[in-house]
Each structure stands twice: as C-alpha cells, then as structure tokens.
Amino acid sequence: MKNRKKEVIILAIVLIIQTIIYVICGINKSYIHMDEAYSLGLASYDKVEIQNNEDFYNTWHNKEYYEDYLSVQEDEKGQYKQVYENQKNDVHPPFYYLLLRFGMGFTEGHFSKWPGIVINIVIYAFITVFMYLILQNLFRGEKRAKEKSILLAFLSSITMASLTNVIYIRMYALSMLNILIITFLHIKLLKSKEINWKLLIAIGISALIGSLTHYYYLFYLVMLYIIFVIKYIKEKRYKELIYYTLTMIGAGILSLIIFPYSIQHMFFGYRGQGAISNLTDIQKFLSNISLYIQKVSEFGFNNLLYIILLIIIGIIIYKIIKKKKSVNDKEKNKILQMIAIPAIFYFIIVSIASPWIELRYIAPVCSLIFVIIMYLFYELLKEIMSERKSNIIFILVCTIILISPIICKIEPEVMYSDKKEIVNKLEEELNVPTIYMFNSENNRFLDDILLFSKVNESYIAKDIEKTEENMKNILKGKDISKGIVVFINEGQNNDEIINIIKKATNLEKSEYLKRLNACDVYYISANQELK
C-alpha cells in the first residue's frame, strides 16, 4: 500500500510538471495554422469554410465577422448537430470536433486558443498514464521498473513532437491516446488465457472511438488485429478468435452506423483518393520515409535519433563479436513486438499516404517509437555492462535529450513565436483599414484568419483588376490618415500592386512587414516610420 501511494504521488508530480510545461508553451503560442482554423470553424460554424459565405469577398467586414467563425456564440451553446453536418462535408470523422465544440462553449463569443489546448493537456495527462502502464509491462521484473517507466513516459510526453501535439488544435493528440489505450488493452488481452468479456467490450469501445477520431488510426488497429489473428490461429484458440473478430466487426459496424459518411471520405473523397494514389506511387516510398525519419529525429528525439541508433548498432556488433547471448524473456518480447509492429506499420503507411510531409500525421506514434527505441537502448546496455553503469548512461542520455532543445534552439512546430510581433502590431499599433489582395488560385486564407479577427476593418479583394480606380472605390469613405495594411498572397506582382495602391491613395511610404505562410504583408502610410 505504501509503495502504491508513493507511485501515485510521483506520477502526480510528473503530471503537474508536464502540465506547467504545456501551459507555458500554450501561453507562447502566437498564431494558428490553417488546419487549426478549420478545427475551430468546423466545431463552431455552419459552413466548412467561411469563404463559402455569399458576402465574404469584395466587401468590408469587422473583426467580429471572422471571430464568429473561430468561436461559439452564446445562442449556439449546447448545439452539436451542425458539427456533425460539417463533418459530412469535410474529410474527417466527428468525435474530436464534438469534444472541441464542448470546450469552446466556455469561451463563447470570441476566439481563444485555450479550449483546444486545454483539451489536449487533459488528453496528455491520460497519455502519460497509459504510456507508464505500457512501459511497466516492458520493464516488468527489473529493478526500479516503476522509476524507469515514469521517466520514459514523462520524457516521451515532453519531446518537441509531444509539445507540438499539445498546442496544435487538431485531433492528433486524441488519436495518440486512442492508440495507447487500444495498445494497453491488447497487452492485457495478450496475457489473458480465457475469454474476458469486459476486456473485449473495452477493446470494442476503444476501437469505435479511435475510428471516429481519425482514419489513419485504422492502420494501427488493422495491424494489431492481424497480429492477434495469427496468435490465436497458431495457438488454436479459435473460440477466442471468433469473439475477438466479432468485437472488431461490431465496432466497425457501429462506427459506420454513427457516421456512415466515413466510406465516402476514405474511398471517394479527395483526401481518401489522394491517399490511395500516394500508396500506389512507389517512387514516393523511400523519399517520404527518409523525410519522416528526419521529422522523428528532430522532434521526437530532439535531433539525437541517429546518435542513439549508432550506439544501438555498435552494441549489437559488439555482442556478435563477443558472442554474447541476449536475455530471452518471451512475454516481454511478445509485448514489444505487439507494440513495435503496428507502430512501424503505421509510420510507413502514413509516411506514404499523407498529402504532405508534416509531423502531425505521424505524431500519434512518435512517442511509441521513442519509448521503443529508448527501451531497446537500455536493454542492450544491460547486456554488455553492469546495471549500475547502464542506469547511469541511460539517465545521462535521457538528460541530454531533455536539455537538447535549449542547446539546439528547437521549439514546438506550431508555436509560431516568429508571428507574435505581427499579431501585436496589427491588433494594437496598426489597427487600420486592411486589404487582402486575394488570388483565388492560391487559396490559403484560413492561414491568416487570426489576423483579420484582430483588425476593425478588412476587405478581401478577390481576383480584382489591379487599377487605381478599383482601389479608390474599395477605400472610398475609409479613414486612411494613419495608413493601410495590405496582404498579398502568392501568384501576383507585389511591387505593381503596392505602386498602384500608393498612387490611388496618395500615400507615399510602403514598408514590408512580414512573410506569412502564404502572404506578404505591407504597411502603406503617408511618411511615418514604424516603431
């Protein structure tokens, strides 16, 4: 009982520390990615994109117009039907968005990053707990197994990949939790010698929620299922195989009953078609895998993956030369294989299927890959030196991984600290009439919607003819004494547009402010310099 209490206290301290780290990262998050804008809009608005509004282009709007897309209004609280309807027209299942809608109800009427971040912080508390439980099974029977498990679970939750996952307002943290829960339940199933109905029901519910969170989850689930089918057939446990299969089929059928549009999304939607096309493109295989391994190294291991892998290879070569035999714990090996094979399969398939090379797509298995490699690293160390020396080296490597982001100046991928200045300038110093010279062939407006929710007056000039007369008409009646801000997205002649606007407004000074994800931003004024 005393040891149990100590374990809970240590775990609680770890969760508090990681939560503090998450909150600090959340405070410093200065911008949102286009997909985060989609998340907020899909969870709160009555259309998939704000650009689908009939009155969106070629008219002036105030900031509340854009905030409406990014927030739940007072009269919309408790209404979830529209979220479901939005997802019919999107490319993802609805569970995460329903959860986000609930969270956004606490910040009604205005944009806030915190509902999405707080949801992820809570999710990551469970992620750390389940990672700890999984690691306990790997370190079972070893000295200080609990301490090693807590250390690795904590470390996996504060890598740059995890910190990115926490402050990224998307479903990937939830998908990761789903993967860890289904993994933990299958570890219990692996140990079970007879039919456990409660466990099968838990597996079915977990599979259901996972499939309603993200479709890539199914890659992990399918491989997990195949492993257990092979296991049951080899062991001639056909009755258990039947019940296990029926559980998975039941979860799949129930998922389709709840959200039948999944079939359309996966096989006939543009994203599903794109994934299928990528999977059949052999040329992409090696290049994508290589690029994603680099992502894992940078954000999953803070740029130390290759060093750790070299040490592992070196130990293996040393063992072969010295003819040292490995300790063979069959149960632990089975657990390791059960975790590693689906994680690697997910990584490979998603690396090929994903539309872009982005960390978020592999984020749900990044921490699993991290703990697998670190576990192997530790176990191999133990086979060539004393446990004491192994522990010292292991803790040293873990410490280096922990502090390396400070040394290498790595930050979470979607913190956008470089955007903080432009957000503050537009909201406080340069809250002047703002024009977006919009080229619809390069539509990434949602990448910058946050900025338009900060300024009082803005105009989205879609594909207009760039003439002095048109610019005069757009700005007619507007107070431009303090200047104007101009956004120009890709595919246009920036200098030409700026010169036309200067002639139309008699404003003499133009200053380049910032390159955003898809736009260049300029401040045009009479003659004053920016502070």
Q: Which of 121, 114, 148 is nearest to 134 (CA)?
A: 148
Of the ranges 58-67, 284-293, 300-309, the best mean pLDDT one? 58-67
Q: What are the distances in angstroms from CA 394 to CA 50, 52, 117, 133, 209?
A: 51, 54, 32, 20, 36
Say what the pLDDT of residue 320 is.
Answer: 83
Which strands, in side-by-side order, build the sheet including 458-462?
Answer: 60-61, 458-462, 434-438, 484-489, 519-525, 509-515
Q: Residue 203: exposed, middle, or buried by beta-carbon count in 10 A (0-12, 13-18, 19+)?
A: buried
| Greater model confidence, 126 or 431 | 126
| Greater model confidence, 97 or 384 | 97
Q: Is the pLDDT of residue 531 over 50?
A: no
Strand 434-438 with 60-61, pairing? unpaired
Q: SS3 for 491-526, per residue?
A: CCCHHHHHHHHHHHHCCCEEEEEEECCCEEEEEEEC
Q: Is the pLDDT of residue 530 over 60?
A: no
Helix, strand, coil content of the chain in percent (nearest 5): 70, 5, 25
Contact 136, 146 (CB under 8 A): yes
pLDDT (tens digit per residue) in 167-208:
999 999 999 999 999 999 999 999 988 889 999 999 999 999
What is the domain partition of the chain in residue ranges?
2-32+117-408, 417-525
Say what the pLDDT of residue 174 is.
Answer: 98
DSSP string, 388-430: HHHHHHHHHHHHHHHHHHHHHT---TT--GGGHHHHHIIIII-
Instruction: Record the tokens describing residue 488, joined without a space.
Output: 């120009």
Q: What is the percentage of the chain residues whose pLDDT exceeds 70? A: 95
Query: Would you identify the CATH topology of the domain 417-525?
Result: Cobalt-precorrin-4 Transmethylase; domain 1 (3.40.1010)
Angle formed at CA 517 by CA 516 and CA 520, multiple of 5 degrees: 40
Strand 509-515 with 519-525, pairing? antiparallel
Q: Is the pLDDT of residue 323 over 80?
A: no
SS3 (DSSP) at 484: strand
